[in-house]
Structure formats: C-alpha cells, structure tokens
Amino acid sequence: MEAKPSLLVEVRDGEAPTWLHEKMSHYKPTCDSQAINLLLHFTMTECGFECKGDDNGGPPSGWQDRFAIFMYNSRAFPIFECVLVLMTKTGVKQIVAYFPDQEDELDFTVNVVMKDYIKHTTTTQTPITCEDLVNVSQFAQTLKDRLIFPLQMSAHSIFGLPAPWHLVVMPDELLMMITSLLDYRDVVALRGTCHRLHSLMDDDKLWMNLYKRDFINVYDDGKYMPYNHKWIVKYREAMIRLKE
C-alpha cells in the first residue's frame, strides 16, 4: 500500500494529504486568488517559515484580498525576515519578495498563472476544495526553486546565515545520526527540501527508531509490522491515534 503524500511537493492530482483537505475546508477560499494565497502560505510553512508575530499557524491577515502583504521569519533563524507582496492581475498572481529595509536593492518576482493550478470554474461563491487543485507539487516546487531558495541564498550572503546546501554535503551516516535525534516535524521538513534528503528521510530504519523512541511505551507493538507497510506509515498511524 502506497503511503499518502504528506508534503505539497508530493501531492498527486486527486490525492492530497488529509491536512490539506482540512485546511481548505476550514478556510473555504472562494476564488483562485484566495486559493493560491493559501497554497503559498502552506509552502512557506513547509519550508520552515512562520507568519511574523503569529503563533497559531494560520495564514496571514489579508489572505483573502487580491492585494496582500505577507511577512515571514525563519523558525530556525529569526533574523531571517522576508516580505511577500501578492498582486492579482487578470488571472496571474504576481509574488514579489524582499528583505525589510532592502526592497530597493534586492527583490525576487514570480508570476503564477492561476488557471494552471486551479480548475475551479464556477462563478458562484462555492468554496474551492482539494478536488479543484491541480499540479500542486509543481506549484510548491516552483516557489521553492524560484523564490524560497534564492531568498535563502541571499540571506546567506547578507546576514551570514548557513548556506542552504551545507547540510546535504554531510555523509549519509552523519545525517542519519543527526536526524534520529530530531523531532519528527523537523524530519518531515528536511524530507521536503531536496531529492537526496527526501530519500534519506524515507529510510525505514530511521522511522523505526523514531517510532520506538516516541511510541514504544504508548503502542507496544513495535516488533510487528504488517506486510508491505513502512515504518513511516506506522508512525503516521500512531500520530493519528495519539490525537484521537
């Protein structure tokens, strides 16, 4: 049984992660612009950013507007702050990103053709759902490649923060030792950063160790694995049971 996608870059048309269904159902975007604003926010949070001054994880205020300003900071490096300006122009969402107080010297612009990602065609105020989304993984990857990664590179140059590629040059064995000590949410975040880390973070032994560390005293069935299951699947199931 193939595991359901958990990250936006893994989403397949017609099969979105449960959390995305829940978010879309909760916020109920009623137009392409609002849906794209939400997907942008979800991509930013997956990449380690949070709304500045907001602890509830929701989208920034103004996400429903055709013109909006989102302010984010890196969870790992609070000094890393960025501003996103979102403008809707005849079916195109223009996203301009810059660092505070440096908008004249540095900015990145990405233009998103909204119909490439939203197949919602009704003219009523019917909320857009996951079934109306297409090419979500492409959307998330485009933002990472053309917006988030350049911002990270510039933060390395301007603020002296670690370059985004430093982690991936470590040997596999060292990376596995480090990630086995991380919170599962950090492992999931690493899993979405590049192909190499995605492959490493899928390692069955890693998720077996995480499961035994986090759940062995709660669900003492760590020695039994159903046929064709992976430990990452078992970990997700345990998390769901824990939240029930």
Tell me the residue range of the domain where 79 lies: 8-159
Specify the pLDDT at position 64: 94
Predicted confidence at residue 136, as pLDDT, reads: 93
Beta strand 67-74 pairing with 49-51? antiparallel
Same domain, 134 and 194: no
* Among 51, 49, 54, 53, residue whose Cα is nearest residue 69: 51
Q: Does the residue 33 lie in any domain?
A: yes
C-alpha to C-alpha distances, 32 to 127, 129, 133, nearest whole angstrom: 10, 11, 10
43 versus 77: which is more confidently predicted?
43
Higher pLDDT, 239 or 221: 239
pLDDT (mean) for 158-177: 70
Which range has the worst mean pLDDT, 23-37, 58-72, 205-219?
205-219
The Cα–Cα gap between 119 and 134 comes to 7
**pLDDT greater at residue 163 or residue 184:** 184
Domain end position, chosen among 117, 138, 159: 159
- The answer on 132 and 17 residing in a single domain is yes
Query: In whole angstroms, what is the distance from residue 111 CA to residue 175 CA?
Result: 35
pTM (predicted TM-score): 0.67
Residue 51 lies in a domain: yes
Our count of domains for the chain comes to 2
Closest CA to 19 of 63, 84, 11, 51: 11
What confidence score (pLDDT) does residue 11 get?
A: 82
Six-digit token string for 183? 């919170």
Residues 19 and 121 in one domain: yes
Which pLDDT value is given to residue 93? Answer: 96
Q: What is the pLDDT of residue 165?
A: 59
Residue 243 has pLDDT above 80, yes or no: no
pLDDT, position 164? 65
CA dist 118 and 35 (Å) reads: 8
Domain ends where: 159, 186, 217? 159
- pLDDT tens digits for 95-151? 999 888 765 556 789 999 999 999 865 556 789 999 999 999 999 999 988 998 888
Are 234 and 118 within one domain? no
User: Which residue, of 159, 183, 215, is where some domain finishes?
Assistant: 159
Residue 26 has pLDDT above 90, yes or no: yes
pLDDT over 90 at 70, yes or no: yes
In a domain, 3, yes or no: no
- In this structure, the dihedral spanned by the alpha carbons of residues 21, 60, 81 and 32, taken in order and rounded to 10 degrees, is 60
Has residue 44 been placed in a domain? Answer: yes
Residues 123 and 174 in one domain: no
